[in-house]
Structure 1
Amino acid sequence: MAAAPKFEGWLGKDAESVKGKMEWGPYEPKKWTEDDVDIEISHCGVCGSDLHTLRSGWSPTPYPCVVGHEIVGKAVRVGKNVSHIKVGDRVGVGAQARSCLQPDCAECSAHKESYCAREMIATYGSVYPNGEGKSYGGYADYNRTNGHFVVAIPEALASEDAAPMLCGGITVYSPLKMNGCGPGKTVGVVGVGGLGHFAVLFAKALGADRVVGISRKADKRADALQLGCDEYIATDEDQGWDKKHQRSLDLVVCTVSSAKMPLTGYLGLLRTHGTFIQVGAPDSGEMPPINAFTLIGSGVKVGGSAIGSASSEIPEMLQLAADKKIKPWIQPVDMKDANKTVVDMEDGKARYRYVLVNSNYGKH
């Protein structure tokens, strides 16, 4: 049996760490079981969730933490109970590290592990039950995760491209697929950013007839059209946008998270019985109020979506990306510069996804 690797990474020790004050150091991963896989990390995407966790934005973070849940690397230790991964495989881990995985769980038994109500262990910042330890993420040399949530990376996908798909990509792919994105459908994407640019790429790859990018300002219009949008709406600058485009979309995926967003206008873009899906998650969780007559008047539906299933949707998404040669817009940076990258991410400089590249990879 392979020896346990030495776990070191960028530790966030308090809420100030989001200001570029993470510290590199050792930590103790969860206790090893034969259900686990140890991964030597080559790449890790930088997600907005990392910032929320570093500053305890969603809930108090159990410091110290190592964030990062868009992990790609090599399996270096594989538990006896893991059959779909072997040592040496190139693998990935997204935002979930474990669920209850019991056969009597309605969610886990139906490939809906990300909605399991019994146990939801995130890739970082979660405390395992029964004294097993804590989950630590991918701004590090190694990661340890339950094998059920470790996926093989298709050979045709570059590691730096696959990494941000494991959270940013699947967060929008899942609701697009679940809500019928495909030929004959028109899709709106609110927020052309880290998540939104993936939504455009995947909506086109799934065959949507028309994709409309929606953002406050016009400065991303050229990018949106280059990504594949057929049209672009700048809600702060295009006068009468809500009337002009009224009832023109079948599905809207909203990646922004502001209590001040023009939600009534967004809902008005939907055709009769259209669907609005929220994936952006603000620190406060607040959304603008919804007028009941906005829903009743056109029979629209409002819902939400979390990350997708590691056992079904993530492999399906990765294969689609490989088959369709989807190329996300990424900015590779050395993991040694993680602190600066977090600050740049907070300042909105990403176009559209930072990916940390581990210069320690293969040197252990």
Structure 2
Amino acid sequence: MSATDYKFEGWGAFGPDSVEGNFKKFEYEPKPWEETDVDIKIMYCGVCGSDLHTASSGWGAADYPQVVGHEICGVAVRVGSKVTHIKEGDIVGVGAQCDSCNDCRECNKQKENRCTGMVGTYGGKFKKEGPAKDAKSYGGYASYNRSPGHFVVKIPDGLDPAFAAPMLCGGVTVYNPLVSNGAGPGVDVGVIGIGGLGHFALLFAKALGANVTAISHSERKKEDAMKLGASKFIATHSGGEQDFAPHARSLDLIIATTNDPEMPLGGYLSLLRPDGKLILVGAPEKPLPALSPFQLIPGSISIGGSIIGSPSLISEMLDLAVKHKVEPWVQKRSMDKVNEVIPLMNKGDVKYRYVLVNEENGGKL
């Protein structure tokens, strides 16, 4: 298929009020074509919290217009001559990263997500010398996506692409710190927040064989958490010491998916055994609560962070999802309904991931 057979058209955020339901459809030019690229006819695109933070300028001033969406699944319709792992007609996906330098220490260790030359799938600028240098990246609330082929992964047989789409950011964002920190049989893992990221953390921690504890501010989502793989549940209620004391030193690893800047951080740390780790994957728009060093030193407790995952790790996660029949809880909506979906997502009215469907491109509601 030649480049003239289709056009790039998407739902753009033109200002911070876009998250109130003011995305506008428009046509745009993607990055200049290179023989290392893949064009994807988008069937599904997950709605990620990052989309809202970016579209609203919550994480900093956005370079409008923004076509957000970095949980993209569809059909490869044009494949560059230098791409060897994808062929036209394959069902493929792109997550939150679409390029890196491909030459640094981290890239050479297949940890491209840690490269200082990372380019986001939307809202970024391509950095390498060549025809695409300084071109803007556009995401998945659209008809087509063009991304460097190194960051395009094949969706394995046996995995519904509507399920795969939100795994490409939401799934790997929690899968990475789980496997990097030894989640598996005999390990007690806690998950803070039962939302888009949290529900994936429960699913993947269970698939990895860990003992899973869900942590939420109330019992409202307890039943869901148990269905998603938790065997224990901690309700923090007021966030006071009395909520945490009965569960002190009961966990080896905690994945914190919350975006709450007022989180009871000290209480969460008290749940960890000596040498335990709390890994932040949620990203509040304000600083975290103050912390005393004596909440860390006596038990050799660590706080860390984690960001998405490399293409090779995404493929590993997708294979695990097939093996263990991991099925995220998704609500599919037509992409033309984006201005109804985003305000609902903004209010947290979702169980637990919206997926936009391009019916014209073969997506199924």
What's the TM-score bracket when you normalise by the shorter of the two chains? over 0.9
CA distance in 2, matches of 1:287, 1:112: 27
Unmatched 5+ stretches in structure 1: none
User: Residue 214 of structure 2: SS of its match in structure 1?
Assistant: strand
Contact 1:248 1:269 in 2 (8 A): yes
Q: Which residue of 1 aligns with 2:124?
A: 126
Q: 5 Å matches for 1:33-72?
A: 33-72=34-73
Contact 1:218 1:237 in 2 (8 A): no
Contact 1:108 1:116 in 2 (8 A): yes
Distance (Å, rounded) in 1 between the aligned partners of 2:90 and 2:172: 21
Q: Is 1:95–1:167's contact at 8 Å kept on the other side of the alignment?
A: yes
For 2:299 and 2:7, the matched residues in 1 are separated by: 57
> Match for 2:201 among 199, 202, 205?
199
Deviation at 1:237, TM superposition (A): 6.0
- The count of aligned residue pairs is 357
Match of 2:264 in 1: 262
Alignment partners' CA distance in 1, 2:294 and 2:239:
25
Aligned match of 1:146: 148
1:90-112: per-residue Cα shift (whole Å, max 9, x none)?
Answer: 0000000100011xx11100011
Q: Percent identity?
A: 54
Q: How far apart are residue 234 of structure 1 and its match?
A: 1.2
Whether the aligned pair in 1 keeps the contact of 2:100 and 2:112 (CA below 8 Å) is yes
Q: Which residue of 2 aligns with 1:329?
A: 329
Instruction: Say whether 1:114 aligns with 2:96.
Output: no
Query: Partner residue of 1:11?
Result: 12
Contact 1:50–1:68 (8 Å) recurs in 2: yes
Q: Deviations over 1:186-209 (max 9, x none)?
A: 00000011000000000010011x
Cα distance in 1 for partners of 2:3, 2:26 equals: 20
Which amino acid letter does the alignment assign opposite residue 307 of structure 1? I
**1:196-227 residue CA offsets vs partner (Å, 9 max, x unmatched):** 0000000010011x211001121001111111
Does structure 2 retain, via aligned residues, the 8 Å contact 1:187–1:249? yes
Normalization by structure 2: what TM-score?
A: 0.95
Give, in angstroms, the shift of residue 241 of structure 1: 2.6
Report deviation, 1:322: 0.5
Instruction: Look up the match of 2:360.
Output: 360
Q: TM-score, normalised by structure 1?
A: 0.96
CA distance in 2, matches of 1:241, 1:288: 18
Give the structure 1 partner of residue 94 of structure 2: 93
Residue ranges of structure 2 left out of the alignment (5+ in a row): none
Matched, 1:235 2:236: yes
Taking the TM superposition and a 5 Å limit, the aligned residue runs for 1:262-301 are 262-284=264-286, 286-301=287-302
Contact 1:157-1:322 within 8 A present in 2 as well: yes
Aligned to 1:187: 189
Runs (4 or more) in structure 1 with deviation over 3 Å come to: 129-132
- CA shift for structure 1 position 64: 0.7
Whole-angstrom distance in 1 between the partners of 2:234 and 2:243: 7
- Distance between the aligned counterparts of 2:277 and 2:357, measured in 1? 38
Q: Which amino acid aligns with 1:301?
A: S
Three-state SS of the structure 2 residue aligned to 1:108 is helix
Deviation at 1:238, TM superposition (A): 8.8
State the one-letter code of the partner of 1:170.
V
CA distance in 2, matches of 1:134, 1:233: 44
Which stretch of structure 1 is more off in the superposition, 160-169 or 353-362?
A: 353-362
| 1:319 aligned residue | 319
Aligned equivalents of 1:161 and 1:258: distance in 2? 27
Q: Distance in 2 between matches of 1:289 and 1:316?
A: 37
| Alpha-carbon distance, 1:3 to partner | 2.3
Equivalents in 1 of 2:111, 2:313: separation in Å? Answer: 9
- Cα pair 2:99 2:126 within 8 Å, conserved: no
Q: Deviations over 1:306-328 (max 9, x none)?
A: 00111x11000000001100111
1:11-57 per-position Cα deviation (integer Å, ceiling 9, x unaligned): 11111111110111101111111111000000000000000010111
Deviation track 1:98-131 (CA, whole Å, cap 9, x = no partner) reads 00011xx1110001111101x1110001122364
* Structure 1 residue 304 corresponds to structure 2 residue 302: no
